[in-house]
Amino acid sequence: MIRDLLGSVGTIAVGTMGLLVALRNQRRQLNAQMYIEVSRRFQELLRSFPTEAWLANTNPSRPMPPPSREVTDCTLYAIQFVADVYYLHKGGYVSANLWRLWESEIRRTLAGRVFQREWETLSTEFAHTPDFVGYLNRTQHIQARKLSRAVSSSQYFT
């Protein structure tokens, strides 16, 4: 009787461990697939974005491109892509490690000069997503303050 009970408990324990390992592996595989898909979409966006606008976005030594429909459209696509990734993260579909990896580049991109200029026009397109609008506004504000401090300190030392 006790042997049967211990055997059943052991079988349940081994089965539970196997299930937990399988779930963990599946989550890791899904994160890897998500990383590959998001990277592919990002590369497509990068190829469609005008090169001079992309480079000027985070490099103040580059001249700002004039406003154009192409730059506005590409910025809209990029911000929509960021919104998709943001909501996947908020929904728990993106691991914390993967989000940290992506977010540093997201912050740098969103705070760039071209994206800030275009956001003034495009923000109304995202009025239906107030928490994303808040995230983007906070990101631009925080990054702009960091850049301002960096520029101020570099001028101080010259």
One-letter amino acid for residue 16 of the chain: T
Could you list the residue range(s) of the whole structural domain that residue 57 is in? Answer: 2-156
- List pLDDT tens digits, range 89-116: 999 888 888 899 889 889 989 999 999 9
The Cβ-side half-sphere exposure at 68, using a 13 Å CA radius, reads 10
Band (39; pLDDT cuts 50, 70, 90): confident
Between 129 and 142, the higher pLDDT residue: 129
The DSSP secondary structure of 126-141, one letter per residue, reads GTT-HHHHHHHHHHHH
- The structural domain count of the chain equals 1
- Model confidence at 154: pLDDT above 90: no
Q: Which residues have CB under 8 Å from 139's CB, separation 6+?
A: 106, 107, 110, 111
pLDDT (mean) for 2-10: 72
- List pLDDT tens digits, range 65-75: 999 999 999 99
Find where tokens 């912050």 sit.
107
> For residue 17, what pLDDT is reported?
78
Average pLDDT, the chain: 85
DSSP alpha helices (H): ranges in 49-95? Answer: 51-58, 69-90
> CA–CA separation, 52 vs 62, rounded Å?
8
Q: Three-state DSSP class for 86?
A: helix
Band (153; pLDDT cuts 50, 70, 90): low
Nearest to 118 by CA among 62, 61, 59, 54: 54
pLDDT (mean) for 54-75: 94
